[in-house]
Structure 1
């Protein structure tokens, strides 16, 4: 029988480069052609063409550096990684899909089933969820300690401990970590100190200068700065020697199945980061929390103005904090730039270029949970400039109620240990005119003060009536 002919693919049309169908897929583009763009390009491609099968084989075996598939590496993402690594003084970085992913892969590359992490208990609520719930499911135990208690950090260390973890500035109370003291504990324990530097950013604090070994960021926040793009990044600061105790770090010092006849230290130890290679080739590759090229491009745009924005953010936040401290409706303000803050001395030591623009304040509590919630809700409902959004580090000023939003999964005891009360209100001060932010908060708080005064007057009248 004669061979069957394929069905016609529509009208037969020809172009200068061949058939219409082939031209619509391939015309006008030459693989590998360099374009001299002045800003990083968006390499919106899932895969990359190899010059030969031999090149593909070497790339997949990690014998050669290059682009394979955007789940693990992408040229636009690589620019973002290199830029953040430079700002943090690191030797390598891995861009991922979110800050939560950055924390997860950074710690998973250090601790496996049956091993242990010591973490500050003053952390973002989503991080607490990850460490106490999901890591427990995976057989990784986490001990939470008061970040200000150096002795507690020391006492929590075990032979199976593989990392210490904390935020340089905590979310939402803006506690400033005594980074040098915790770094000393990590050095004595022989484990890396991993710091979430999201709130401080490398502009306000380079954690490497105070003893950190690995930094993570939710790039969604200040690094991007505009509330448009999710992203995260892990940075190896190059300060921890995994070869000093090779038996403790077999994932880096022993033969790695994905590197033929060698370990990650042998392959990447001279000119690169074995740790970041592990993060990328195992945890990002296998779990897939990849940073998209488009989001990397937007985050790069944000990075270009990081110092200017942080100057405005922090200056405005201190102005707002000083106003709040003077308002009668406010019980206390948690801002390390204020003389009244328990962390003011740490802020002076660790944040010389400005303190936090993410901080919290407490309204006067009634002692009744429902009444306290309604009080906070009343204040937030009166705001017009400051927006109710579950984010920080945005160009816009944002407000949140940690107890019912970002930290709602924590127990009452955990909330108390993190200094979060039912009347705690978190602010992330944006780039608006600080006078407008203050006026907005003043209107909201004055209205609540008036209502509270009316309620108190009514209660006095009732009490007086009852006494006659």
Structure 2
């Protein structure tokens, strides 16, 4: 029998246990704890010798079903669902980093991700080494025996830079470090992180998967492809757990101790969102591409940045890695910060709000909001311009969105 399509798999992933009432949707197990028949069964569950649920901070049937769906469509070894994208990033690095280690990354990162690496981890003795990830030799020179990972966003937000994932994966293999990638801006059905050499994939499921900004969540997707005997922190564990070392460390210690597991209510909503992500993405991303082409022709717009445009320096690489419509986010520059604010204030249809891939189109001025607490020098080093508007394209018609943009530019 041929392999089922993404759309079919997300709709028909079976339950781990048959529902007593034949429900077609996984019920919301809105409970904290679970009863056991015997003390022996309880001991086995708490010690990880069985897959029985013990406490919903650790595992929950509704959340587990969402994880199973992601696992089915990605081919991952394991998936862990947490309560935000930032929780997914922090849990990942707390699992693999230790004092004296470093992370080779880029200054082109989402604001809180950059702050986590540069400030929060730094307080625990972990160095974030920012370099040009599009320059493979520079990356190779930055990786040393204390590097715990190479980390990047596959399309940076808001710079929209694209690095060659296969080339980075080759350096990571050569140097014996895992390649960790935040792939939030491109959903699973159009991009295979595993095929590009990513070992651990991080996703803010708040975005495409939530089904229109219904809830906050994050995912850690472990493909089981890294040899953890080469990890300074996890080498000893790898002798017992092999390919599952990272997931074992994460599930048995880190996520339990940090308490950031996804709630069953969120998992239920995001399971429904996952089932429709393919059709929503096609509409949003197609509209985004056409809108980007139209913006290039509008008076008052200095430049448009979308990696699906032939004018983008990353067009060829982006098309190879992500296909012809690389997501539903674009940016464009106006003549000044003041022009950006005037434009934002005149919008009638597009909402002034943060977040990405809501069903509604959203506009934000990143320099004054997401990066508002950064200094001017820091923003400059991160290529965050005062003249940039970020637009997340929703499900509205192209004509309506373009009309709103045109009137706001006048």
State TM-score, norm by structure 2.
0.92
Secondary structure, counterpart of 1:223 in structure 2: helix
Return the offset for 1:176. 2.2
Which residue of the partner structure matches residue 92 of structure 2?
A: 106
- For residues 318 and 62 of structure 1, the distance between their equivalents in structure 2, rounded to whole angstroms, comes to 48
2:269 is aligned, of 298, 301, 306, to 298
- For residues 350 and 124 of structure 1, the distance between their equivalents in structure 2, rounded to whole angstroms, comes to 21
1:114-129 matches, cutoff 5 A: 114-129=100-115
Matched, 1:361 2:351: no
The CA deviation string for residues 92-135 of structure 1, in whole angstroms up to 9 with x for no partner, is 01100000000111121111122111112211111001111100
1:58-207 matches, cutoff 5 A: 58-207=44-193
Matched, 1:332 2:287: no
Aligned residues: 393
Going from structure 1 to structure 2, the CA distance change for 1:185 and 1:52 (only over 3 Å counts) comes to same
Return the offset for 1:33. 7.7
Which residue of the partner structure matches residue 20 of structure 1?
A: none
Q: Which has the larger radius of gyration?
A: 1
Which residue of the partner structure matches residue 372 of structure 2?
A: 408
- For residues 143 and 375 of structure 1, the distance between their equivalents in structure 2, rounded to whole angstroms, comes to 35
2:346 is aligned, of 379, 382, 385, to 382
The CA deviation string for residues 204-249 of structure 1, in whole angstroms up to 9 with x for no partner, is 2111111110101000011113112010010001211224x37652
Secondary structure, counterpart of 1:51 in structure 2: coil
Going from structure 1 to structure 2, the CA distance change for 1:47 and 1:130 (only over 3 Å counts) comes to same
Maintained 8 Å contact 1:229/1:295 = yes
Single out whichever of 275-284 and 377-386 deviates more from structure 2.
275-284
- For residues 235 and 135 of structure 2, the distance between their equivalents in structure 1, rounded to whole angstroms, comes to 31
The CA deviation string for residues 235-281 of structure 1, in whole angstroms up to 9 with x for no partner, is 001211224x3765246326xxxxxxxx444xxx5xxx332232122
Maintained 8 Å contact 2:211/2:269 = no
- For residues 268 and 185 of structure 2, the distance between their equivalents in structure 1, rounded to whole angstroms, comes to 21
Which residue of the partner structure matches residue 323 of structure 1?
A: 294
Maintained 8 Å contact 1:171/1:359 = no
Return the offset for 1:35. 3.3
Secondary structure, counterpart of 2:89 in structure 1: helix
Which residue of the partner structure matches residue 238 of structure 2?
A: 253
Return the offset for 1:79. 0.9
Maintained 8 Å contact 1:121/1:147 = no
Return the offset for 1:348. 1.5
Secondary structure, counterpart of 1:359 in structure 2: strand
- For residues 158 and 204 of structure 2, the distance between their equivalents in structure 1, rounded to whole angstroms, comes to 15
Maintained 8 Å contact 2:98/2:233 = no
Going from structure 1 to structure 2, the CA distance change for 1:248 and 1:295 (only over 3 Å counts) comes to closer
Single out whichever of 391-400 and 345-354 deviates more from structure 2.
345-354
- For residues 247 and 100 of structure 1, the distance between their equivalents in structure 2, rounded to whole angstroms, comes to 24
Which residue of the partner structure matches residue 230 of structure 1?
A: 216
Secondary structure, counterpart of 1:330 in structure 2: coil
Return the offset for 1:173. 2.5
Maintained 8 Å contact 1:231/1:295 = yes
Secondary structure, counterpart of 2:219 in structure 1: strand
Secondary structure, counterpart of 1:234 in structure 2: strand
1:31-50 matches, cutoff 5 A: 34-50=20-36
1:340-359 matches, cutoff 5 A: 340-352=311-323, 354-359=325-330
Secondary structure, counterpart of 1:440 in structure 2: helix
Maintained 8 Å contact 1:216/1:235 = yes
Maintained 8 Å contact 1:122/1:147 = no
Which residue of the partner structure matches residue 9 of structure 2?
A: none
- For residues 398 and 74 of structure 1, the distance between their equivalents in structure 2, rounded to whole angstroms, comes to 33
- For residues 39 and 19 of structure 2, the distance between their equivalents in structure 1, rounded to whole angstroms, comes to 20
Which residue of the partner structure matches residue 432 of structure 1?
A: 396
Which residue of the partner structure matches residue 19 of structure 1?
A: none
The CA deviation string for residues 156-202 of structure 1, in whole angstroms up to 9 with x for no partner, is 11211011110111111322221111111111110110110100121
- For residues 337 and 81 of structure 1, the distance between their equivalents in structure 2, rounded to whole angstroms, comes to 31
Return the offset for 1:437. 0.7
Maintained 8 Å contact 2:106/2:133 = yes
